[in-house]
Each structure stands twice: as C-alpha cells, then as structure tokens.
Amino acid sequence: MKKFCLLPLLLICLSCSNTEAESIDVLIPDSGDPPGDKTDGGANDNTKVADAFEGTGALVDYITNNASALPEVGRVDGRYRAALTDNTDNVTLHFNEDQGRLDAKLVSFPFEFIARNIGIGTLDDSQTAPTSNNAPYNFSGVQVHVEDFSSINSSHVVVGHRGSTAFTIEGKNTLDGDSSVNDIGAGTVPDGRADIRIVGNEDRTLSVYWQVPNLDYQTIADDWTLYNGSGDLPGTAPEYGEKVYIGLITYAFNSTGVPFVGTCDAIQINP
C-alpha cells in the first residue's frame, strides 16, 4: 500500500515544481539587474499593438526601466505625457553610459514600430513646442534597447532641440556605453513634433523613417522619409538579439529648457 501512495504524491510534487518555474519565466524577463528600478508591465512579443493612450492614468502594459529618473509619466487626456521638471545630475539623460527612463514593449525581429505626433511641448500646452533659447537639449522620441537593461546598448530617434540645432530629429547609436549622434538639420520639424517609424529587419538591423505628423493617419496614407537619406543611424549599431525592448523616452541634457513635456498621440506595433 505504501508504494502505491508514494507514486501519486511524487507526481503531484513534480507538477507543482514545474508550474512554479514556468510562471517565474513569464513574469520576470531574463534581463539582469537594471540600473535603477524596473516595472514589469507585461511583454508584447510578436503581437500587433495599437495604443492611443486613452483616458488618464498610468501607462498600461509597458515595461519600464529607471522609472524614478522621470516619475511624472502616464496617460493624460488620451496622450502619453512625460513632464520633465527636474534634471538634477542629468538623471533623465540618454547618452553614453547614462540611461534615463524607458517605457517599452518587448518585440521580436522583424517588426515595425510607429510613434504618432511625438515631440516636446510646454507644461501649459503640450502641443506647442518650447522656445530654443540658450541652446537647450530637450527631446522626446523612440528607443530600441537590447533585452538586458544592464547592458548599455541601444539606438534612438528623438524630436526636439539639439543645442543650437533647434526643431530637429536626432539619431543615436550607443554601443557599450559609447554614443554616436547626428541630426537631420535645424527647422526640419518646425513644430517640434513628428511621426517616427522604426523597422526591425530580418537581419536584426534597423531602418528609420520620419514625417511631419500625419494627424489623419487612419484615412490618409503616410509619406515616410528615410532618416538622413539612408535610414541608418550614426556610428556602429549594437548587435541585437532575437528580441528587443522598444518604446518611448523623454530627456534633457543639463537644465536649459527645463521644465517641458514630451507627448505622443499613439503607438503602433506590427510584427
């Protein structure tokens, strides 16, 4: 009798052990210990996503790296809104070894990511760009990051003021904490806003596009322009794995131009 009782008990124990291991793998991405805090909001690996940030409240189903660097981020009146009111010690900065806040989705190559009407505004009017007095570095845009947040390897495309080059789009590759940067020229996005499109290709490279905001994109066809004529970002890109995080960033360099807000009307992800 004892031999027959032990067998089902052993099977039950093994079953419980396997179930627990599977749930841990799903809830905690294998991304190491990130610098700062990370909020796991769920992955969207190879899933079509359309988020118009409806309503007001916290972002829904995003994975956040370094939330404390930029705490005032959420949905406000149907937009992503990041209020950058304090950049002490360049806490929000994305440059070289600095990694500010990223609110992202986990995707697999190939993919297409579009951010609609993303850019910078004032605290009083998020759709009116702040002035470029005293050469500020104020941006909002899209970042692609390797799956391990503790690895300082990413690419980004942001809209705003780049020092004396105002109302522009900046592109950046950061490889092992060393950033290469350029832009598309002053005044190319005169309202400080744009649509950004990043295509993750089959070979795990990125192709980048932009356009002035198409506010009627549901009925009017997009007219994309390759970033700097080639779609390539400057310098050497990281070697991306099968999966990457891609999402929204807002940041400044030093305190010129602070405070301001970064906003985005919607994102679209297509596998």
Q: What are phi and psi of 30, to 5 degrees?
A: -80, 75
Contact predicate 142/156, CB 8 Å? yes
pLDDT tens-digit readout, 211-265: 999 999 999 999 999 999 999 999 999 999 999 999 999 999 999 999 999 999 9
Assigned token pair, 248: 């929204």
- What residues contact 255, with CB distance under 8 A and at least 6 apart? 87, 88
Assigned token pair, 12: 């039950």
37-270 sits in which CATH class? mainly beta
Per-residue pLDDT at 18 exceeds 50: no
Angle among Cα 138, 158, 117 to the nearest 5 degrees reads: 100
Give the pLDDT confidence score for residue 121 in this predicted structure.
Answer: 98
Per-residue pLDDT at 30 exceeds 90: no
List the alpha helices (DSSP H) in 77-226: none
Per-residue pLDDT at 201 exceeds 50: yes
Contact predicate 265/116, CB 8 Å? yes
Q: What is the pTM of this model?
A: 0.85
pLDDT tens-digit readout, 147-193: 999 999 999 999 999 999 999 999 999 999 999 999 999 999 999 99
Average pLDDT, the chain: 88
Give the pLDDT confidence score for residue 246 in this predicted structure.
Answer: 98
Per-residue confidence band for 45, with pLDDT thresholds at 50, 70 and 90: low
Structural element, H or E, at residue 9: helix 2-27
Domain boundaries, the chain: 37-270
Give the residue from 220, 217, 224 showing the smallest Cα distance to 157: 224
| Residues linked to residue 155 through DSSP beta bridges, in sequence order | 144, 173
* Cis ω before 213 (30° cut-off from 0): no
- The number of beta carbons lying within 10 Å of the beta carbon of residue 184 is 20
> Phi-psi category of 117—alpha, beta or left, where left has phi over 0 and alpha has psi -120 to 50?
left
pLDDT tens-digit readout, 49-97: 999 999 999 999 999 999 999 999 999 999 999 999 999 999 999 999 9
Assigned token pair, 128: 């009116």
pLDDT tens-digit readout, 85-139: 999 999 999 999 999 999 999 999 999 999 999 999 999 999 999 999 999 999 9
- The number of beta carbons lying within 10 Å of the beta carbon of residue 220 is 9
Length of the chain: 271
- Residue 177's identity, in one-letter code, is G
The two beta strands, 154-162 and 165-175, are antiparallel
Per-residue confidence band for 47, with pLDDT thresholds at 50, 70 and 90: confident
Report CA torsion sign: 189, 194, 199, 200.
Answer: positive
